[in-house]
Amino acid sequence: MKVCVDAGHGGSDPGAVGTAPFRLAEKEVTLQVSVLLEQELEQRGHWVVMTRRIDRTLGLLPRARFANRLKAELFVSIHANAAATASAEGMEVYHFPESREGRRAATAVLESLVTAFPDHKNRGVKEANFAVLRVTAMPAILIETEFITHPRQLEFLSDPESQEVLVEAVADGIEEIERA
């Protein structure tokens, strides 16, 4: 399968920023996880294209158009969630409201994530009119890996071992989509 992996935010757009117990910008986590996901998917025989491999500013529409131009079969955008309260936590996956295939992909990936991390809160599959979900011509999902504003989840997101398990779970979910 040809998968477009999108590392959310980047460059002048840091995304959400976790500050306790240390400072970490979403754009850093999304890039680390996306590069690991690229490697994992390629090891499994998928063709992967990346919207960015370095810390650079990239608009939402160019991300979607890039995937369309390269005729990706699945678009996966990696993010870390944020909330005004430090107690918010959990994983969720978004798809465009009118995309049946997007919903199927989001469900498969979320199920794989919560299986790999049963102690994390399952916030569910959700619909959103995000540009990267709306403009892409293929099924598209946006994964909120955890809350960067939650101290324990910030540590989880920054941990290389957790990132490895996270990308394996996402890759397992993607392979489940292919099997269905």
CA-to-CA distance for 43 and 54, rounded, in angstroms? 21
Whole-model pTM: value is 0.98
In a domain, 170, yes or no: no
Judge contact between 86 and 151, C-beta under 8 A. Answer: yes
Pick the closest to residue 93 from 166, 11, 160 (CA basis). Answer: 166
In a domain, 152, yes or no: no
Judge contact between 130 and 94, C-beta under 8 A. Answer: yes
Q: Give the confidence band of 178 by pLDDT, cuts at 50, 70, 90.
A: confident
Residues 27-82 have pLDDT tens digits of 999 999 999 999 999 999 999 999 999 999 999 999 999 999 999 999 999 999 99
pLDDT value of position 47: 98
In a domain, 10, yes or no: yes
DSSP conformational letter for 135: S
pLDDT value of position 52: 97
In a domain, 72, yes or no: yes
Close Cβ partners of 36 (under 8 Å, ≥ 6 residues apart): 163, 164, 167
The CATH number given to whatever domain includes residue 55 is 3.40.630.40
In a domain, 165, yes or no: no
Domain that residue 27 falls in:
2-147
Residue tagged 């991300």 (tokens): 63
In a domain, 180, yes or no: no
Distance of CA 154 to the CA centre of its chain: 16
In a domain, 94, yes or no: yes
CA-to-CA distance for 71 and 137, rounded, in angstroms? 8
In a domain, 34, yes or no: yes
Per annotation, catalytic residue among 26, 28, 144, 146: 144
pLDDT value of position 180: 75
Tell me whether residue 144 is one of the annotated catalytic residues: yes
Query: Structurally, how many domains does the chain consist of?
Result: 1
